Amino acid sequence: MTGTLWGIGVGPGDPELITHKATRLLERLPVLAWPAPLEGEGFARTIAAPFIPAGKTEIAIRLSFAPDRADTDAAYDGACRAIASHLEAGRDVGVLCEGDPLFFGSFIYVLARLKDRFPVAVVPGVSSPMAAAAAALQPLTLLDNALAVIPATAPDARIEALLQASDAAVIMKVGRHRARLAALLTRLGLASRAVVVERATLSDQRIVALSDSADLSYFSLILVHP
């Protein structure tokens, strides 16, 4: 019998926002893998740390912060060979993901490589748009609203088309795109409905005005409320 590959969402940052199902698996699974920078333990591992008992076999999926495609593929290929060897030996493996595994999650790359060879299950997690809306106390969507979730890297014309087709929006991973996005939202008359949330649910969470010129981390998003 081969083991099962588990994608485990660990939520947006506050360890208390992990689900009971996820923590039960963190307790039970013998092998845990997690994406990480070239050194250190990575955000998902840090979130889950209070629930990981000593003595697990752990696999770091080492990704550089500004990776080229070939490096990223090689990192996932290598990690998936290690994961597959445990699964072949009958050991279940959990892959930790910040937020939700299938919503912009690194688990998708593991899933693509291993889903045809092993049983797979996914534990959904609380995602950053919901965490940011909770921090800002702003509705994401209500009634018949349509919501667009847009990566900050999208070109202005594409973001504009999505904003115009929807009632509310989340622009993900704002970071260094803040000034360009603020100009675009202002031009579209949406600035008064927008707020920036950085590192939602973490102890250094910030809610800042769109016009604020402070540097933002990658873990920041703009909510355009309905």
Residue ranges in 2-61 that form contacts with a second copy under rule CB under 8 A: 7, 9, 11-12, 14-21, 23-24
Q: Which of residues 93-152 bind a second copy (CB under 8 A)?
A: 100-105, 108, 111, 115, 120-127, 129-131, 133-134, 137-151
Closer residue to a second copy, CB minimum distance, 57 or 117: 117
Task: Write the interaction track for a second copy spanning residues 156-195; mark x where CB under 8 A is met and - where it is not.
Answer: --x--xx--xx-----------------------------
Where b means 16+ CB within 10 Å and e means fewer, 141-159 reads beeeeebbbbebebeeeeb
Other beta carbons within 10 angstroms of residue 21's beta carbon come to 14
CB of 35 to a second copy, least distance (A): 13
Task: Work out how close the CB of 213 gets to a second copy at its nearest, in angstroms, rounded to a whole number.
Answer: 25
Give the position of tokens 């016009």.
211
- Are 96 and 5 a contacting pair, CB within 8 Å? no
Whole-number minimum distance, CB 130 to a second copy, in Å?
4
Per rule CB under 8 A, count of chain residues that contact a second copy: 59
User: Closest separation between CB of residue 218 and a second copy, Å?
Assistant: 14
Sequence-distant (6+) residues with CB within 8 A of 62 are 36, 37, 38, 75
Q: Which is nearer to a second copy, 102 or 188 (CB)?
A: 102
Query: Do 34 and 93 form a contact (C-beta atoms < 8 A)?
Result: no
Alpha carbon of 84 to those of 7, 56, 116, 154, 195: distances in Å? 14, 16, 12, 35, 43
- Contact present, 172 and 196 (Cβ < 8 Å): no
Whether 118 and 87 have beta carbons less than 8 Å apart is answered as yes
| DSSP for residue 99 | B
* Of 202 and 211, CB closest to a second copy: 202
Q: Which is nearer to a second copy, 35 or 105 (CB)?
A: 105
Distance CA 100, CA 119 (A): 19
Sites of contact with a second copy (CB under 8 A): 7, 9, 11-12, 14-21, 23-24, 100-105, 108, 111, 115, 120-127, 129-131, 133-134, 137-151, 153-154, 158, 161-162, 165-166, 201
